[in-house]
Amino acid sequence: MLILVSLLAFFLGGYVHYFRKAEAALGVHWQPDAGARLFSQRPLPPPIPDTSIATYALPLSTKGRDVVDTKGRRYKLSSVNWYGASDELFVPGGLDVQHRSVIAETIRMLGFNSVRLPYADEMVMANPQILPHLLTANPDLVGMRALDVYEACVTALTDAGIAVIINNHITTATWCCGADPCDAGWANDHLGPICRVKQSEEEWIQHWETIMERFVDNPRVIGADLRNEVRGVWGTMPWNRWATAAEKCGNRLLKMNSDWLIIVGGTESGNDLFGAAARPVKLDVDNRVVYSAHVYAWSGWGSSEGRYSKRNYASFIRAMRRNWAYLVEQDIAPVWVGEFGAPQQPGAGDINYWQNLLRFLKMLDADFGYWAVNPRKPKDNKKETYSLVEDDWITPILDYRMKDMTELIAGHHGGGSDEKDDVDDL
């Protein structure tokens, strides 16, 4: 018995030692390669003029894997997230630093043609007056309430030739997403008194209607991303339940404006669209469904092959194809990778994830939305390590991330047909 206990202790100790070494290796600082260094030394290329929403014949719709205009021309969603309205301060970030039109110009200068703009249901319910010090660079907005400031930011973006996708991010206004069951889905009234901010499914839809009523006559507000990272309690949200709710909400919004795209994210914190194969989302208006997936370095936890930061390319691609890429590769429906991102100072695990993901996105010529442009987080003004601009909201961070996204936006990559053949063999 003593020998058995000793052996178990030996093997357990070895496993813990191996696990710690493996985790430490993921955090080893990455030195930029020659391509990233060269990119950082040159001016950022100007945005491609014909990617602007102003050059398209609206409204948009879907055709197979693509979003297209009325002439059948593909509108590739090359997006960035601009957050803040879903957090405690109820206001998109940066309005104390730059005028909203300058922020819009910065986003366009970076090459993006669309913005995902999150909001919290609590913002709609409370609609508080925004504190004046959060609007010092936008004095014309001082005294306004949250919904008016949000609308002003949308208008600044669309005036700059940028399409906007409205995103219901979270119920309680705070940083998303944790283990709080009150924010794990679109409705939480079944949880009784434990949730500070409560809403039923009907109230969730009504909040959507309140937001979208403001944009019925703005054709560059192209869609509604119905809910961020639906997950249930510890990943227990059934796809069928979510798809049914998405159809109910989507159809209500389409009664307001039948031109909007209805964007439906995957379950498992946005990762998993596997259920859409057997149970697709069907709306009363044809060709309006766009699916959305989120992919981060920490995604994939709990699986036998581990988090995406640890995986080799073949393993990573198997997960992407199972979760969402089958919809694109089989020309079934568009999938917008609406959130992904990495830090300015990455570790080895971050880079492994990033290189695998961007290689695959370039091969697919995928629609995407980077998280995020913001240089600071709202609540405590902490540095946003995933930011694409400096604190002035003007100066771009020219690093490996912008290099790859510039190539993705342009549709240029090194793989070509040989790259696709290699991926098809995996």
Q: What is the mean pLDDT of residues 178-182?
A: 87
Q: Please report the pLDDT score of residue 19 as a whole number.
A: 39
Residue that is written with structure tokens 């879907």 in the block: 62
Domain segments of the chain as ranges: 31-424
Query: Given phi > 0 = left and psi -120 to 50 = alpha, else beta, which region is 173?
Result: beta
DSSP 410: H
Question: Could you tell me the sign of the dihedral formed by the alpha carbons of 338, 344, 348, 351, in that order?
Answer: positive
What does pLDDT average to over the chain?
Answer: 92
Which superfamily is assigned to 31-424 in CATH? Glycosidases (3.20.20.80)
Q: Please report the pLDDT score of residue 420 as a whole number.
A: 56
Cβ atoms within 10 Å of 259's Cβ, excluding its own: 17
Is the model's pLDDT at 136 over the cut of 90? yes
**Cross-strand bridge partners of residue 78:** 368
Q: Please report the pLDDT score of residue 2 as a whole number.
A: 63
Q: Render pLDDT for 274-298 as a digit per residue (tens, 0 to 9).
A: 999 999 999 999 999 999 999 999 9
Q: Which of the two residues, 13 and 141, has the higher pLDDT score?
A: 141
Burial of 26 (0-12, 13-18, 19+ CB in 10 A): middle
Percent of the chain surpassing pLDDT 70: 90
In what helix (H) or strand (E) does residue 393 lie, and over which residues does it extend? none
Nearest to 93 by CA among 378, 372, 369: 378
Question: The pTM is what?
Answer: 0.92
Q: Please report the pLDDT score of residue 21 as a whole number.
A: 46
Q: Please report the pLDDT score of residue 17 as a whole number.
A: 37
Q: Inter-axis angle of helices 348-364 and 2-26, to 10 degrees?
A: 60
In what helix (H) or strand (E) does residue 62 lie, and over which residues does it extend? strand 61-63
Q: Please report the pLDDT score of residue 413 as a whole number.
A: 33
Q: Render pLDDT for 56-103 as a digit per residue (tens, 0 to 9).
A: 999 999 999 999 999 999 999 999 999 999 999 999 999 999 999 999
Could you tell me the pLDDT band of residue 415, with boundaries at 50, 70 and 90?
very low
Per the CB < 8 A criterion, the answer to whether 298 and 309 are in contact is: yes
Q: Render pLDDT for 326-337 as a digit per residue (tens, 0 to 9).
A: 999 999 999 999
DSSP for 162-225 reads -EEEEEEEESSSSSS--S-GGGSSS--GGGGGG-SS---HHHHHHHHHHHHHTTTT-TTEEEEE
Q: Render pLDDT for 313-325 as a digit per residue (tens, 0 to 9).
A: 999 999 999 999 9
